[in-house]
Chain A
């Protein structure tokens, strides 16, 4: 278009044609922008900002900085070798007095308690006792009030609090912590858990995705190749569970799989087994229920892609001498890849966030990372930990998505 404009000449109604064209294009773009603006705003306000704020919590913690400001200022000069000097203790006494008056002692204590369990009540009682402390010297008096203030690791912890940014939550999310001198050390073996949980979450998600593909692919093929009438009936069987609540489907599996449930009773009546098999509250139950819930989500994109593949392609391959498997593998399978990619990607990403199903049909070793995120958000009110775990999960998901798109190509993903 623009080349023709140049060829025709540079003026049209007294205005350069190229300029006119640009103006029209700009207006079109503006119109399009106005149409998507409400959604864009909605995503920004309801999605990007809160999630960004939450993720920020993973590294940002200014509890000590705001609640014990004088101690933090005084600590900046501390070399970290011996216990700090009288000036720092005096600042601490002042901060504790203030925190008792303003009822913030518990918040300070809670923050210290994260890293040194058992110190919450010490901090609160110190604040109470410090509030009636006569004027200095404070160092001896505070250590007498609570041995906590004579501990070097407590002061290392407080020194770390002089920065509003902390690596504590992220470190703990991968089973590391700060040692007594602020060096990074591995958590004690009996408390190491999060790396296992992340690996478990990935493992279960990959497993469920693979099983849904194995089960869903033949069904999708059947649905796509059967005549409309019979395929519609089958389709209802596929989507009916899809429309049922996840909670109901999960509970149904409890009824089916439990010790004296339908499956075990039937198998025992048929003398296949003599004792009830352990089908639930373990990995089997989790995988079965999650596979059932995710199956339509993998299947439907594959099906919709298969419907667009003309049967004449395979027929042509066969007529050219290819065997049935060769024709399928070389002609049909590659054409279904966009659907497979879409279905598997959706199932995999949804699986990473599973929470209720593993809680109801899984055993203790089947809990996925989201249940820990929920625990820290709702019960411990430790939003730093929740954010750190969430941030790691989000990063891992994005990395996997990135490598997936490099391998398969997102442009090949077709939802329908």
Chain B
């Protein structure tokens, strides 16, 4: 039974890959640059399209497909058309198998994608063995990285996921000065617990007198939080910090509104902006702190590239794009820039090692402005958070004022440990 299910998903993946590759034959002739192979450049993509993370996985894939179409319309990379080979990201074991298959059988030159913490931490050591660059969209938390990916040659990791909670704690101190007690809720896995620990550590630095009175961790995928909300009400906390990021963010917002939770307490949703267009005004109040991770679709100072992407995404999918599109676009665009940089230096189609070296420290224009790879292979970007407002043209909340915090401010420097770094702050 699991075989037929997997076959179905693989079939779906093949269909997407074929769809993306439809334009390839027409563009499939290199422009005659010296040392550039004529055949299409195969790029492997790992995307979750099933289960609770499907909305972000699908968004990442859409962002990559949009990038590939643009690149191919412009004549490819160094005249070489790109062809996406899409595989499903699921559990760590199966995803590792598909990752190997992409490299050994499909002969891709790079693998993009990976969202789940469990999967990315399993892929890290494998990427080092396979000797092919892997650029992760998302899904690396501090503890796991320290254990399985302390330093890498081939793996390029996402932003530390706790940054969302760290930025939220900084802004909590700025916007909710009077609070004395805080309750927290997050999913019962590493991300939920790590966010809560990070949030507490940072808020303690800014507001030493704040008490953390309750920490709740329902299991990932739960759809009923009425009892949790009752418990939060009983705690009489001044503020609720929530790190839900999928459909559960919408559910808790709705169930909280039904009992008037945010009439008596403040709310901080570190990354619920990932499902922003489901946070309808009907049940999402103004005055909450809401995080959008690395791209805010409605940024008034957004680049023409962002505006074009949002416009075309909305026209094609009838949705407004979430942040994962930006992580995915950045990975793909930086690989293109890395190839071009390495080619310029080598004078011929570069080796994988040359591409990896070119990527280190590279900065490119992404959907949220300039983004770069730190020398230790970690994404750098800006985080977008702000206070929810109903004053917009949508039926869901947006944020105003908009706060932009860079990873230089909110992510631990290379070679340090997170909580040591937070403890060293002068506030």
* Chains A and B bind each other: no
Chain A residues near B (Cβ < 8 Å): none
Interface residue ranges, B against A (CB under 8 Å): none
